[in-house]
Each structure stands twice: as C-alpha cells, then as structure tokens.
C-alpha cells in the first residue's frame, strides 16, 4: 500500500518543512562474514538509488542544520533529510564517504567507544561469524551437543538460528562457542579491521561529516539502571569530543529508547558540555522533548525501495 500512495500526498498531512532521518549501518557489494549472516547490507547500487529518491524530494542537511532548526536559530526553507550510519563500520569511510563527499551530501556516523580502532568485536558480529562458520563446516556431533547445551534454548530452531538470537547478557557463550569451533575473534579484528579507526574519523570530521556517540559497548539500554544509562551516554559523548570538539553533541541509542525514562533525558540535556544536545532513536519519523529527541528511519529493509520505506514512515507518523 505504501508504494501506491503519492509521497507528495503524504507530505500534505504534515507541518512544513519536514526533516526525515534515514539511517544505515553500512553499504557493501560483497559478503561480510560479521554482518551478512544476520542481515544483508544494501549494495552500493541500491544505496545510490535510495539517495536519488531522497534528493528528488528533500535537500540534504547536516547535523548542525538539524540543531539550528531545532533551536529556531535557522529555519529550513524546504523539506530535508539528515543521513546517518550506526556502529562505525569501516565501509562508511572506504566506500560511502568518498561518494557522499563528491555529491555534497553530509552525514553523521555514530560510533561505539569499544569498537573504534578495532579493539573489541560487537557481540552481534561475533554471532554472525559463528553462523558463517557453521554454514561452511558442520561440527562433530559432540561439539554440536556441547554448543546446544551451552546456549540452552529449548526450541526447534537450528543451531545457527539459536546463535543469532543470543542476547547481550549471554554474550560470553559466544566466546565459548568460538573456542569450540576454533574461531579466533581477535585475529579477525586484526586481519579485517571491520570498524573505523581514530585516524579515519579525524579525516571524516575534517571533510565535514559529523560524529555521534552510540554507547560504550553497544549494550542495550533495556537492561540498564538510570544511572548506568546516563553514564553510557556521558562517556560516549566524551569519547566523541576527543575527535570532534568543534561540533554539537549527538547520541543515538544502541537499540531503542523504550526503556529510557524521561528523567534520563532531562538529566543528559541539562548536563553542561557533557550531556547530549540531540538524541536519536530508530522509531521512524517524529520528535519529542521540544524536538531534541528525534526518530530515524531504518533503510535496510530487504525487498523495499526508498519510496516504500519513506511512505511507510510517513504513514506511521501520521497515524500516531
């Protein structure tokens, strides 16, 4: 249905100008063992098609424009989009940034402290590597039974499916499974360098890209106390300030904001020079807290083009 509705018709239901916030994790034409087993990133061709659609209806703006528009210091003249990328993956530097820079399209990359410089591997990416290994060679019955016992999911899911739904509190089991399958996560980090480095981030900032925080280790906020939620945000923003001291302070929640109480938002917005000035979630289209908390649109939806994803988000926002 969303693809059959005119985008202009949907626009007419909103106060203008409208700013939407599409986001990706990465873009790749190849197979990424730490990602593809969980989801297939869009190809570069698909990404360019998405941008062509967005540029047809919106002007591309940077995070500073969003901040100025939110504070009322600069009212945008037309509908706009602010592009962002999560998790700080290296393709944003090697593949995406050169294209965006040539096209004059600004963007923000949200980074996780522990991933920068490839010091740690995200537990979800560990799960993807294990699934990748299991699709290439089946473990012995004894090893498979041991893995099944360690995961402990009494379900009819396959072993790769069970690994794919391991949550943060269980993340240590992924290291145990890696040992059983003789997979070296540290070696993968050193060889493949899947995340951005400080040097790359400094260069991106020099070229006008904004940097935001996404937590210390990408831990879901749903399992954290209010004090720990605030600590994660403040630490993440402090880390980003080392790279981009000249910009405003942006933070994207690593999962969603459903478990974040209003008191946390009030605290981080009040913290002078240490808290967030704008925060982001993945709820589609919409703003809260005087426009300072902004919902973004996930653009990595298999089988859907940019028109359908934008129209779905517009419909969802209108129906709220």
Domain of 89: which CATH number? 3.20.20.370
Identify whether residues 186 and 42 lie together within a single domain: no
Based on the structure, what is the number of domains in the chain? 2
pLDDT value of residue 265: 96
Identify whether residues 150 and 185 lie together within a single domain: yes
Distance CA 64, CA 74 (A): 10
CB 243 within 8 A of CB 260: no
Domain final position from 190, 212, 246: 190
Distance CA 142, CA 215 (A): 38
pLDDT value of residue 223: 85
pLDDT value of residue 2: 47
pLDDT value of residue 10: 60
Phi, psi dihedrals of residue 213, rounded to the nearest 5° = -95, 155
Per-residue pLDDT of the chain (320 residues; tens, 9 = 90+): 445 556 666 666 566 688 999 999 999 999 999 999 999 999 999 999 999 999 999 999 999 999 999 999 988 989 999 999 999 999 999 999 999 999 999 999 999 999 999 999 999 999 999 999 999 988 999 998 899 888 876 678 889 999 999 999 999 999 999 999 999 999 999 999 999 999 999 999 999 999 999 999 999 999 899 999 999 999 999 999 999 999 999 999 998 888 899 999 999 999 888 999 999 999 899 999 999 999 999 999 888 899 999 998 888 877 66
pTM of the model: 0.94
pLDDT value of residue 156: 80
Identify whether residues 162 and 301 lie together within a single domain: no
CA 92, 317, 290, 14 torsion: positive or negative?
A: positive
pLDDT value of residue 154: 66
* Domain housing 284: 2-29+38-119+195-319
Domain final position from 148, 175, 190: 190
pLDDT value of residue 246: 94
Identify whether residues 284 and 174 lie together within a single domain: no
pLDDT value of residue 155: 72
Distance CA 29, CA 40 (A): 10
Distance CA 293, CA 276 (A): 10
Domain final position from 190, 213, 247: 190
């Amino acid at each position: 249905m969303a693809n059959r509705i005119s985008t202009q018709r949907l626009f007419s239901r909103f106060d203008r100008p409208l700013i939407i916030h599409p986001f990706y994790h990465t873009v790749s034409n190849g197979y990424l063992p730490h990602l593809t087993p969980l989801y297939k990133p869009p190809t570069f061709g698909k990404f360019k098609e998405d941008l062509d659609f967005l540029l047809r209806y919106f002007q591309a703006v940077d995070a500073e424009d969003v901040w100025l528009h939110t504070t009322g210091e600069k009212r945008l003249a037309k509908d706009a989009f602010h592009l962002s990328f999560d998790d700080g993956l290296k393709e944003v530097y090697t593949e995406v940034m050169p294209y965006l820079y040539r096209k004059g399209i600004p963007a923000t990359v949200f980074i996780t402290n522990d991933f920068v410089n490839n010091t740690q591997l995200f537990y979800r990416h560990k799960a993807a590597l294990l699934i990748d290994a299991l699709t290439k060679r089946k473990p012995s019955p004894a090893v498979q039974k041991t893995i099944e016992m360690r995961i402990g999911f009494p379900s009819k899911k396959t072993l790769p499916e069970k690994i794919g739904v391991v949550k943060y509190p269980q993340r240590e089991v992924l290291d145990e499974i890696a040992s059983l399958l003789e997979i070296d996560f540290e070696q993968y980090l050193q060889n493949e360098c899947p995340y951005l480095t400080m040097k790359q981030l400094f260069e991106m900032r020099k070229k006008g890209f904004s940097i935001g925080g996404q937590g210390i280790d990408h831990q879901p906020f749903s399992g954290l106390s209010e004090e720990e939620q605030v600590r994660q945000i403040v630490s993440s923003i402090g880390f980003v300030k080392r790279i981009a001291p000249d910009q405003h302070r942006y933070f994207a929640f690593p999962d969603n904001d459903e478990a974040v109480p209003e008191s946390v938002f009030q605290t981080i917005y009040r913290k002078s020079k240490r808290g967030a000035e704008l925060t982001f979630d993945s709820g589609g289209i919409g703003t809260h807290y005087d426009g300072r908390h902004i919902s973004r649109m996930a653009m990595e939806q298999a089988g859907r083009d940019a028109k359908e994803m934008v129209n779905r988000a517009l419909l969802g926002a209108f129906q709220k």
